[in-house]
A and B are shown apart, each in its own frame.
Chain A
């Protein structure tokens, strides 16, 4: 039925009257700007700390520039109509993340994370280039939906076999590298959700009974959503990873709503989410403690035990004020553990201020918006759902971790996309940007004059 619908649509679509400009020159200019901004940040750190431009500045700028250039060439060759924004945004956020990690490395001379992060960033851009070059049409992925979900579940289950690190069982260690398989699972699940919902949305939308103004699904189609809910709770309980389970569930509910337009799904989703959160919050002291910290961030200070991480994070943001202390001049290292990963945004908040933080959030918002724009422009449901899913991953992830470190919601361990230390995360985010580029290329090259991408 889905196939018939789209075929019909393709047949009746008007002949393209206009060709959209390719905008590759815009992309290149923005890439140059992104690299220059990153190098400027790198130099600013060195100038603030030692009064000299750091010796690696040229190398850093050249490296980032070459990576950006290769990515740009790949886009030029294989996705000439792609949206010109996602790639420069990815480069700028990644570059800024490297600057922040380099800056924090100065406080921990024995533990340098920036070089490793640079290697992972290179791998990430490599993956981006690979995806753009190899994946000629995103609809190919639809065929591998069930491969994707099996791979995602295996990746999610893997860390259970490995020892817990800092209370969460989300890492596996291979040959000295820490890998977070859950990160990769995000993209795979987004692909699966998009494919599954594209194929089944009619069944999901048209069955069920109406209660008050909400349309509730029948028990038969409730199965998949319950399965996903159980997986999320399973991840939460077995791996103590509140953030990832929240992300999966939020992603599924958003895609379900977009696919069916049924508000009942949202009601069911919220109900299940609340049930799961309450149950786990009661049963898991690790999660319960996070909620307690969120409600009373200064409780440990009052108890004479000194500020906890969240309190230190709030202090860091507050110290930044509107304009920030300047790169290299803050004291976000007081947060202690995870300053370079989960709490990286606190360094941005302290040293770049609310102004810098707002700029970063707007960059994410722009990336998300471009994803949604591609989704709106596409005419076939899988592509639409994939674009919406990928964009929503970014939005939800930014909300969950940034909201956590600023005390808006309970803190959950998660990586700030592109900024935070963590190889798996940065590679995954490059995959997301690559898919967005691919999807937007389809959207813009198939422009039918109706919904401007």
Chain B
């Protein structure tokens, strides 16, 4: 029997096989643990981040979202739906503040302040954690913080009311700080329509995106327009800084009509009396011929330098969400430069950019980067971070700014902008009418940029830019002063507390 190997009977040999089987079972369970460690530790981040994993979304909507405040009052809220993605965003005056708040949708993500401040609002911002290490262990998600904006409720309402549903936008800033006081787009939409995850949200999304009026387009910061005559402020600044013009009242050598250099195209004016007009008269009555020639006289290098100092061609503007770059083409011939200098050809600006131009004039030539977030706080109000104010930069000589302010005040006192005059307030402005479309067949844009200073105030308190896309059908009437200036006036009045 021994030739077949050891006897499996009698205890010991079988005990060996039992130990083998036991080792096998131990191996199985050890493999389980090793694999569990692989899934739960090594690859957990990959699985947690999988787009099909709903846990991140569930955690995100598990608690009320922080609020966005205007004048100390929240313009947002959170609704407990009791569903898996529990809290949905709600908006008070949604259309009014849509270009500032953006939307916070469970299906379509976030935009504007809801997007740039999302970490704070949703509670994931590391700043919100009182005890970082313990929070990692306990997995407690901080309650979302609040965003206090720089907006002025009355100015915002005045702008929205003034646009009255017409296509257009308003931007208002405080010249001395860069605080954005109003940011309005029209027509607008109610972002609460997009908050949830339901079929209604999908259909609202489709409807808004296919609406020819483009209600979700933020015209104040994401749409550029040919600035037209309002750009003459920039051209005048360049001419004064470059010394091309020394005396505002000296007659210029400007023919009417003006033949664009190197072409046979003749540039004309809407009114009379522009031939050889002084810069002051030409500014007050918005003579295209004078400023086109002025731009050519300044030259492309100085024009570009001044425009860029005001913020043109800057792709990095953040308020904190990004602003579409306004453009002034540095590669132009003299004829194109002539047109660019009166805000035509391919010069384009956002309403916010033109408000910055007016603000720089009002602030003695210093441009303060505009910002929307005054401060952020914890839920309950404890300060987290201060304002988004950044140092200003001198974009023109103070003397130039003072003379431009004088010119702009003249426009409102006795020029094209008398519609913006406020009793007892020093108001400076500039009208504009920009043509667009093939052969200028498009509905013109009516522009008005301005600033205002109360009698007892040390410096201007507000600078505004208004653009209205589809103003009255009557083209003669649409000279900025007719449709845009009254809106600017109401916004300035609201800021000044009139």
Cβ-closest chain B residue relative to A391: B25
Q: Which residues of B contact A364 (CB under 8 A)?
A: 29
Q: Is B266 part of the contact surface with A, judged by Cβ < 8 Å? A: no
* Cα distance A209–B469 in the bound complex, in angstroms: 97
Q: Is B422 part of the contact surface with A, judged by Cβ < 8 Å? A: no
* Cα distance A311–B20 in the bound complex, in angstroms: 35
CB <8 Å contact, B29 and A379:
no
CB <8 Å contact, A381 and B9:
yes
Given A258-B17, A361-B29, A368-B25: A379 and B40 interface contact (C-beta under 8 Å): no
Selecting from A116-124, A221-229, A267-275, A351-359, the interface stretch reads: A351-359
Q: Which residues of B9-39 have CB atoms within 8 Å of chain A's CB atoms?
A: 9-11, 13-22, 24-26, 28-29, 31-33, 35-37, 39
CB <8 Å contact, B28 and A354:
no
* Cα distance A9–B14 in the bound complex, in angstroms: 14
Contact mask for chain A residues 296-319; partner B; CB cutoff 8 A; 1 contact, 0 none: 001001000011000100110111
Q: Is B53 part of the contact surface with A, judged by Cβ < 8 Å? A: yes
A144 CB to closest chain B CB (Å) equals 23
CB <8 Å contact, A403 and B35:
yes
CB <8 Å contact, B16 and A254:
no
Q: Which residues of A contact B139 (CB under 8 A)?
A: 325-326, 329
Given A318-B40, A407-B39: A361 and B32 interface contact (C-beta under 8 Å): yes
CB <8 Å contact, B41 and A322:
yes
* Cα distance A98–B52 in the bound complex, in angstroms: 30
Q: Is B48 part of the contact surface with A, judged by Cβ < 8 Å? A: yes
Q: Is A196 part of the contact surface with B, judged by Cβ < 8 Å? A: no
Given A357-B36, A375-B18, A408-B35: A314 and B47 interface contact (C-beta under 8 Å): yes
CB <8 Å contact, B24 and A321:
no
B338 CB to closest chain A CB (Å) equals 56
Number of A-B contacts (CB under 8 A): 161
Q: Is A257 part of the contact surface with B, judged by Cβ < 8 Å? A: yes
Q: Which residues of A contact B165 (CB under 8 A)?
A: none
CB <8 Å contact, A307 and B17:
no
CB <8 Å contact, B8 and A399:
no
B44 CB to closest chain A CB (Å) equals 4
Q: Is A129 part of the contact surface with B, judged by Cβ < 8 Å? A: no
Q: Is A193 part of the contact surface with B, judged by Cβ < 8 Å? A: no
* Cα distance A42–B225 in the bound complex, in angstroms: 65
CB <8 Å contact, B25 and A392:
yes
Q: Is A179 part of the contact surface with B, judged by Cβ < 8 Å? A: no
* Binding site secondary structure of chain B: helix
CB <8 Å contact, A257 and B44:
no
| Interface residue tally on A, bucketed by range | 35 or more
CB <8 Å contact, B44 and A318:
yes
Q: Is B137 part of the contact surface with A, judged by Cβ < 8 Å? A: yes
Q: Is A142 part of the contact surface with B, judged by Cβ < 8 Å? A: no
Cβ-closest chain A residue relative to B29: A365
Q: Is A284 part of the contact surface with B, judged by Cβ < 8 Å? A: no
Contact mask for chain A residues 313-356; partner B; CB cutoff 8 A; 1 contact, 0 none: 01101111111011001010010000000000000010001100
Cβ-closest chain B residue relative to A204: B8
Q: Is B55 part of the contact surface with A, judged by Cβ < 8 Å? A: yes
Q: Which residues of A5-50 have CB atoms within 8 Å of chain B's CB atoms?
A: 5, 9
Contact mask for chain B residues 355-382; partner A; CB cutoff 8 A; 1 contact, 0 none: 0000000000000000000000000000
Residue among B5, B29, B36 making CB contact with A354, cutoff 8 Å: B36
Q: Which residues of A contact B15 (CB under 8 A)?
A: 376, 451
CB <8 Å contact, A259 and B8:
yes
* Cα distance A341–B25 in the bound complex, in angstroms: 23
A83 CB to closest chain B CB (Å) equals 15
Q: Is B210 part of the contact surface with A, judged by Cβ < 8 Å? A: no
Cβ-closest chain B residue relative to A395: B25
* Cα distance A358–B29 in the bound complex, in angstroms: 10
CB <8 Å contact, B58 and A331:
yes
CB <8 Å contact, B43 and A318:
yes
Q: Which residues of B contact A381 (CB under 8 A)?
A: 9, 14
Q: Which residues of B contact A215 (CB under 8 A)?
A: 5
Residue among B39, B43, B54 with most chain A CB within 10 A: B39
* Binding site secondary structure of chain A: helix
B99 CB to closest chain A CB (Å) equals 34
Given A206-B4, A318-B48: A403 and B31 interface contact (C-beta under 8 Å): yes
Cβ-closest chain B residue relative to A207: B4
Given A5-B10, A395-B28, A403-B32: A315 and B50 interface contact (C-beta under 8 Å): yes
Cβ-closest chain A residue relative to B53: A315
Q: Is A276 part of the contact surface with B, judged by Cβ < 8 Å? A: no
* Cα distance A408–B34 in the bound complex, in angstroms: 10
Q: Is B473 part of the contact surface with A, judged by Cβ < 8 Å? A: no
Q: Is A261 part of the contact surface with B, judged by Cβ < 8 Å? A: yes
* Cα distance A426–B233 in the bound complex, in angstroms: 85
Q: Is A384 part of the contact surface with B, judged by Cβ < 8 Å? A: yes
CB <8 Å contact, A396 and B28:
yes
Given A261-B8, A331-B58: A349 and B25 interface contact (C-beta under 8 Å): no
Q: Is A398 part of the contact surface with B, judged by Cβ < 8 Å? A: yes
CB <8 Å contact, A261 and B40:
no
* Cα distance A9–B47 in the bound complex, in angstroms: 58
Given A206-B4, A318-B40, A331-B55: A254 and B21 interface contact (C-beta under 8 Å): yes
Cβ-closest chain B residue relative to A354: B40
Q: Is A232 part of the contact surface with B, judged by Cβ < 8 Å? A: no
Cβ-closest chain B residue relative to A297: B47
CB <8 Å contact, A323 and B137:
yes
* Cα distance A318–B49 in the bound complex, in angstroms: 10
Residue among A205, A311, A349, A361 making CB contact with B40, cutoff 8 Å: A349
Q: Is B1 part of the contact surface with A, judged by Cβ < 8 Å? A: yes
* Cα distance A280–B20 in the bound complex, in angstroms: 30
CB <8 Å contact, A349 and B20:
no
Residue among B24, B33, B50 making CB contact with A358, cutoff 8 Å: B33
Q: Can you give 23 A-B contacts (C-beta < 8 A)? A: A5-B10, A9-B10, A202-B8, A215-B5, A257-B21, A298-B52, A315-B48, A319-B44, A321-B40, A326-B139, A349-B36, A349-B40, A354-B36, A354-B40, A357-B33, A357-B40, A358-B36, A368-B29, A372-B19, A372-B21, A396-B28, A407-B39, A408-B32
Task: Knowing that A311-B50, A322-B41, A406-B36 touch, tell me 14 more A-B residue pairs with CB under 8 angstroms.
Answer: A258-B20, A259-B8, A261-B8, A298-B52, A311-B52, A325-B139, A358-B33, A358-B36, A361-B32, A376-B15, A396-B25, A398-B32, A403-B28, A408-B32
Q: For the complex of A and B, list the 7 residue pairs with the smallest distance between their C-beta atoms, beginning with the closest.
A: A318-B47, A395-B25, A318-B44, A399-B28, A408-B35, A372-B22, A354-B40
